[in-house]
Amino acid sequence: MILSTKGRYGLKAMFALALNEGKGPLALKYIAKQQNVSEQYLEQIMSPLKRAKLVKSVRGSQGGYLLAKQSGEITVGDVIRVLEGPLVPSECVVDEDSCENAEICVTKEVWEKMKKSIDSVMDGITLEDMVKDHHKKMQIEIKIKR
């Protein structure tokens, strides 16, 4: 199970917005350059995030994107599910009809436990947590360079 570039770049873009929280809109051009991805592709990623009310856009010369909620209210899971859909190791976890043996299948229990673990991790990390972790790493890096 590997996330697509849509999910990876989307989370990175949301992290960039969280880092900029409270400082006004962040230009898509800046985020695209920072991530080395085309602005058009990033626009395609931001569109579903906007529909899901995770980001909002501001028009104009000083426009761009900003978080629609506080960074502590947006989880990694919120972002990934909007861009990727549910992360499941097997289709049978989300679609009972995809397997004739769903009632007696032992491996389905394994897939369900894996999904619960994945969801627990994704829903347990907010954008604010990511920003805090980033600041900790930056402080460690500064100490190492001294």
Digit-coded pLDDT (tens) for 30-43: 999 988 899 999 99
Number of structural domains (the chain) is 1
pLDDT of residue 146: 65
Write out the residue range of the structural domain in which residue 36 sits: 5-145
**pLDDT over 90 (residue 143):** no
| pTM for the full predicted model | 0.88
Is residue 103 scored above 90 in pLDDT? no
Nearest alpha-carbon partner for 68 in 85, 50, 86: 50
User: What does the pLDDT look like over 62-71, one tens digit per residue?
Assistant: 899 999 999 9
47 or 108, which is more confident?
47
Q: What CATH number has the domain bearing residue 57? A: 1.10.10.10
Strand (E) or helix (H) holding 58: strand 55-58
pLDDT (0 to 100) of residue 115: 93
